[in-house]
A and B are shown apart, each in its own frame.
Chain A
Amino acid sequence: MTISRRGFLGGMAGAAAALVTRPASAGEHTEASTFAGYPGRFWLLHDTTLCVGCRSCEAACNVVNELPKATAPIGDQAVFAKERRPTATALTVVNRYAVDGKLVYRKQQCMHCNEPSCVSVCLVSALTKSPEGPVVYDPQACMGCRYCMTACPYYALAYEYGSNNPRVMRCTMCYSRIKDGKNPGCADACPTGAIQFGKRSDLLRVARDRFQKHPGKYVEHIFGEHEFGGTSWMLVAGTSFGNLGLGSFANASHTPLPELTKSFLSLVPLVLTLWPGLLVGFYAFTQRKEKLSEEEARARVVEALLKADDETKQKLAAAATKAGKDKEKEIAQAVKKALAEAEKKKEASP
């Protein structure tokens, strides 16, 4: 295939033009930036020192999300015997922990992370982080790969394994209620104020106020402020979070988890653009090597033929000389014989 110079340059210009009209550069953000998140988004503050384990939040959540009522009724203490996790029909659960002889309760659900792992891994963008704060799930986009469930560090996602049209199930932070200006169901139902709903900046101030107003009551750490880039559910507690089942996050990095895949993803364009050059180079070396060895083989054959030619010529010359010499000898003998015969004849006749 031959390409004219004009054709080649024209093609390149066309591609460049297409590039210029491509959207989306990230402005003043660089590789070294941190990201502040959506301004004015909502957070929730869970104060475990105020939680009494009534589980009204669980009941309200099931009502709001039109899920079947929990099998263990409110007030049933047996349900606290084992640590539970959110399931497809219980989007939030309250667990009980024994700390220094006292009973402490903690509500658990999707943390609506600032930089959610689940959102970053969803290959069909079924999970998205809304500007209002909640992570929103679109079952119409979802293809059920369950990568989000694999990625979540809080084990917050559940699945409808019993259905042949299954959805991922998780706390929605009552997204539609929030958009209507209402509070999430659990926040409204909580009788002790252990769940507070509001804007991020307000709630951070509320939490820090509580630390100041009640020195010694709280461990002065807001869980969710920074862990893995921070979450929308923040917790404060009167004991170390390790005692409340969050021990694996004790030294959690402040770096969002999607940062860990970002560096791998950058290999894609690099491999796509470098491998062709590299591999075509190997191919060219191989072709060249083959060509050279073919040429070498051909040269050797020609040389051999030439050598054979020389040798043959020498042999022929030698043979000719020998033949010539032999011939001379033969002639000399014949002449001698003829002369001898002639002599004999002369002597025989008078």
Chain B
Amino acid sequence: MKTRSAANLQTAQTPDSVIALSGAVLVETVFAWPGLGTLAFQSILARDTPTILGILFFSALIVITGNLLTDLVLRLVDPRMRAHS
């Protein structure tokens, strides 16, 4: 079996950053915090498509950055990952 990148070592579960961002929507709505989640919820209800797309894009960037950091840290702490390159 081929080992391609550190991404293969990540588990099949959804990244925690995704779960955190989803939780932010709920928490910000409940406590009326003026954050990204509240903005997303309001713009979804108002059918404000450009804002929704922008938020989706931005949060995807956050998740990708989180995954990248995970890979880098994994490389730092797991000697097996360094051995391949």
Q: Do A and B come from one complex?
A: no
Spell out A's residues near B (CB within 8 Å): none
Spell out B's residues near A (CB within 8 Å): none
